């Protein structure tokens, strides 16, 4: 005769739920006492790496590994997940010298991970193991072992990964946040990795798709002087434009160069001859952008070139606009 399980009462269900939460909370709380020099070594290993962070795990640990990789990436530490079974079928090619490989396995004896550890080491990557068994093969081979052991699983059978996966996840979060702090990662940096997020300090989603032509200054608002003008004339035009620069254009309106506040300062340091031709002291072939580009791409150009202003040109190189960081701030692109 098949024995039918008794239907659980509301009281029993609530008690079970509370017990699960208590066991998992205790598991995470116990980790705090084990955050020691090994944790510092793990942070230092990741912080000083030359490559990226690769996170891997199988089964439930694999799901945790994916989340940890995602959290690392969104907080300033480039990381990605590699499935250990797929790694032995070609994905090992994604791992390079200088990478840090983070392997997650509660038992520390997952065959899929142990099979690829020699290859990970051979490729020059360093190994961080997060396990619940410091004597396990994976822990022994690791450059740094982080202890994520728990007293018991929250499952009544003490079998299903519950408290152990919660502990591994919390330890991964602790690692990501410690690295965030070490990198000096800011709220603005976080916003740039979450362009679709509804962060308090961030632009609305539609603003992320603003193009340069929607932000730039155009027409008479764009300071410009003809090639051959004096520095004095360029200075007057810069003052009128109030953008910290003036374009220098030829007779067809094509950009020949740009004369900036910095160019003016460098000129005055050498001489006080404001009647010299601006062509002699301008920055020739300056960085430019096209009006159809995303405004966010213009920000990237400015940041890469360490400049605060940009000229906007058409397909023929003729001047059509200008913008600076203040314009992008006002449009909430940055």
292 shares a domain with 220: yes
180 shares a domain with 241: no
170 shares a domain with 45: yes
Q: Which H helix or E strand runs over 264?
A: helix 261-270
What is the residue-averaged pLDDT of the chain? 90
132 shares a domain with 177: yes
Burial class (CB in 10 A: 0-12, 13-18, 19+), 311: buried
The three-state secondary structure class of 82 is coil
In a domain? residue 5: no
Instruction: Give residues with Cβ within 8 angstroms of 23, minimum separation 6.
Output: 151, 152, 153, 154, 162, 163
In a domain? residue 192: no
In a domain? residue 60: yes
Q: Which domain holds residue 162?
A: 16-185
| Beta strands at 255-260 and 245-249: parallel, antiparallel or unpaired | antiparallel
211 shares a domain with 138: no
In a domain? residue 309: yes
Cα torsion angle, 25, 30, 31, 32, sign: positive
Domain count, the chain: 2
Q: Give me 273's structure tokens.
A: 């001859």
CB 134 within 8 A of CB 109: no
Least confident of 242-246, 270-274, 322-326: 270-274
Confidence of residue 5 (pLDDT cuts 50, 70, 90): low
24 shares a domain with 172: yes
Cα torsion angle, 85, 86, 92, 95, sign: negative
292-333 pLDDT tens trace = 999 989 999 999 999 999 999 999 999 999 999 998 888 888
246-260 pLDDT tens trace = 999 999 999 999 999
In a domain? residue 251: yes
The pLDDT assigned to 317 comes to 95
142 shares a domain with 213: no
174 shares a domain with 218: no
31-75 pLDDT tens trace = 999 999 999 999 999 999 999 999 999 999 999 999 999 999 999
């Amino acid at each position: 005769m098949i024995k039918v399980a008794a239907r659980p009462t509301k009281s029993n269900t609530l008690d079970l739920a509370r017990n699960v939460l208590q066991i998992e909370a205790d598991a995470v709380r116990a980790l705090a006492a084990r955050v020691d020099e090994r944790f510092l070594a793990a942070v230092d290993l990741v912080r000083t790496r030359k490559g990226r962070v690769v996170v891997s795990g199988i089964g439930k640990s694999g799901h945790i590994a994916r989340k940890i990789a995602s959290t690392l990436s969104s907080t300033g530490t480039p990381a990605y997940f590699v499935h250990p079974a797929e790694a032995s079928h070609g994905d090992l090619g994604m791992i390079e010298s200088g990478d840090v490989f983070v392997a997650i396995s509660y038992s520390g004896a997952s065959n899929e991970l142990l099979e690829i550890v020699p290859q990970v080491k051979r490729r020059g990557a360093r190994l961080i193991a997060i396990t619940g068994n410091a004597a396990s093969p994976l822990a022994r081979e690791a450059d740094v072992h982080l202890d994520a052991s728990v007293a018991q699983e929250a499952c009544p059978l003490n079998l299903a990964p519950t408290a152990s996966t919660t502990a591994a996840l919390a330890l991964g979060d602790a690692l990501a946040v410690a690295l965030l702090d070490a990198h000096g990662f800011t709220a603005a940096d976080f916003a740039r990795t979450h362009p679709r997020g509804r962060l308090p300090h961030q632009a609305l989603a539609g603003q992320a798709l603003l193009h340069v032509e929607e932000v730039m200054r155009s027409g008479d608002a764009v300071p410009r002087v003809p090639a051959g003008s004096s520095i004095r004339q360029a200075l007057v035009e810069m003052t009128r434009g109030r953008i910290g620069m003036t374009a220098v254009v030829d007779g067809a309106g094509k950009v020949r160069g740009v004369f900036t506040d910095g160019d003016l300062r460098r000129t005055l340091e050498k001489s006080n001859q404001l009647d010299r031709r601006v062509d002699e002291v301008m920055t020739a072939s300056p960085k430019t952008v096209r009006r159809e580009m995303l405004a966010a791409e213009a920000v990237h150009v400015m940041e890469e070139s360490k400049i605060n202003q940009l000229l906007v040109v058409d397909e023929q190189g003729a001047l059509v606009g200008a913008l600076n960081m203040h314009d992008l701030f006002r449009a909430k692109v940055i």
